[in-house]
Amino acid sequence: METKEFAVNVEHLRKSFDGKEEVLKGIDLHIEKGKITFIIGFSGTGKSVLLKHLLGVHKATSGDVEVLGHKLSTLNHDQLIEVRKKFGVLFQAAALFDDHSVLENVMFPLNEHRKDLSKAEREQIASSRLKQVGLEEKHYNKLPSEISGGMQKRVGLARAIALNPEIILYDEPTTGLDPIITEMVDNLIIETHKSREGMTSIIVSHDLTAAFRLADYIAMLNAGTVLLYGTPEEFLASDNELVRKFVDKGIHRK
């Protein structure tokens, strides 16, 4: 049998900010490499805080976070930056630079981290990423304000994959988007996932329809702990009351 490889291992992770009540109360989570994992749960349960621990933006109060074999708490600043380069990140607001063109936005991480390449080479990579997410060349020199919201999402994704990441983190990539753009983004997530061998995609989302359609695994957080972690089938079969409540509501809403 094939042995599973894990991109992320979170062990007994606890976090409180400034000695206040704990937000994360002992998270154990092992995210399989090469798979799509959704993280779901009610608002305020610590999903975004958990994602930020994977990037080393937040430091654990106790417990461990290991990413691609690196225990984050043991890394110095430069080593942490190296690990962060292995991540692509797409948050809800695409957070593009307003005064940079589409192409310059995608070049940004390359300019930061691939100084070994010539400008022409960086441009070439950026335009190939934009092509990959289906943005036509005639938009490359426009400012973000001159393209539609759906196109901005594509640019954000192109920028997230600029450095050819091993792990992509999405925090609510489709919240607030219309159903057409939501479906487009869902499809882009799948295509991006498939575009790289061994890519690990981790998606925080309130969109249960997408979770059940796209996920290999789903983790449901509740009040700073993992309530249930399993396949979509295991979620549908769960008789845990909170899981049922969340799943029924989410599906009912559609």
Ligand X SMILES: Nc1ncnc2c1ncn2[C@@H]1O[C@H](COP(=O)(O)OP(=O)(O)OP(=O)(O)O)[C@@H](O)[C@H]1O
Question: Which of 9, 2, 156, 3 lies closest to 68, judged by CA?
Answer: 9
Cβ distance to ligand X smaller for residue 92 or 111: 92
The entry of Mg ion, ligand X, none near residue 46 (CB within 5 to 8 angstroms by kind) is ligand X
Residue 69 near ligand X by CB under 6 A: no
Q: Taking CB under 5 A as the criterion, which residues in 46-65 touch Mg ion?
A: 47-48
Stretch that binds Mg ion, among 39-47, 71-79, 154-162, 223-231 (CB under 5 A): 39-47
Residue 97 binding: pick among Mg ion, ligand X, none (C-beta 5-8 Å cut-off by kind): none
Of 35 and 47, nearer to Mg ion (C-beta) is: 47
Are the beta carbons of 165 and 87 closer than 8 angstroms? yes
Is 17 an interacting residue with respect to ligand X (CB under 6 A)? Answer: yes
Give how many residues touch Mg ion by CB under 5 A: 2
Q: Among ligand X, Mg ion, none, what does residue 15 contact (CB within 5–8 Å per kind)?
A: none
Told to check if 153 binds ligand X by CB under 6 A, we report no
**Which tokens belong to 84?**
């962060």
Tell me the C-alpha distance between 85 and 104, whole Å: 18
CB 122 within 8 A of CB 111: yes
Distance of alpha carbon 221 from alpha carbon 253, whole angstroms = 20
Q: How many chain residues bind ligand X (CB under 6 A)? A: 10
The binder of ligand X chosen from 7, 23, 102, 208 (CB under 6 A): 23
> Distance of CA 171 to CAs 48, 63, 105, 141, 168, Å?
7, 23, 19, 27, 10
Closest CA to 218 of 90, 47, 24: 47
Binding ligand X by CB under 6 A: which of 36, 40, 49, 220?
Answer: 49
- CA of 113: how far to CAs of 82, 96, 116, 246, in Å? 9, 18, 8, 41
Judged by CB, which is closer to ligand X: 52, or 113? 52
**List of residues contacting ligand X (CB under 6 A):** 17, 23, 41, 43-49
